Amino acid sequence: MTTVELTRFRVEPSRVPELLRARPAMLADFRADRAGFLDARLVRLPGDQWLDIVTWRGPEDFAASRAKGANLPGIGAFFAAIAELISAEEGDEPGPAGD
């Protein structure tokens, strides 16, 4: 069973290009430094809001990543473009048998 992180945040319109430029480096830093990182999808929502959907091998991997915060430049640059954290949730994605 994988863990899914759902983070909704607001970005000022003038900083959207900065956010999008920082995304590839943030993902590269996650791949290099975050055990259990599987993938991430960024979704633009109405009202200057975004949703980051990140999949982890399990809750322990997500917790370890959260503890590291913005410890690498690519991650820090992405986080710096965010004006406001709106919500952060996590849940389990059931496997094929519904586990």
DSSP string, 32-91: HH-TTEEEEEEEEETTTEEEEEEEESSHHHHHHHHHH-S-SHHHHHHHHT--EEEEEEEE
pTM, whole model, 2 decimals? 0.91
| Domain region containing 23 | 2-90
Q: Is residue 34 part of a domain?
A: yes
Asked whether the predicted pLDDT for residue 2 surpasses 90, the reply is yes
Contact yes or no for 25/19 (Cβ under 8 A): no
pLDDT (tens digit per residue) in 12-31: 999 999 999 999 999 999 99
Tell me the two tokens of residue 5.
């992180």
pLDDT at position 96, please?
Answer: 72
What does the alpha-carbon distance between residue 1 and residue 11 come to, in Å, rounded to a whole number? 31
Pairwise CA distance, residues 58 & 90, whole Å: 10
Model confidence over 24-66: pLDDT tens digits? 999 999 999 999 999 999 999 999 999 999 999 999 999 999 9
Total number of domains in the chain: 1
Whether 15 is in a domain gets the answer: yes
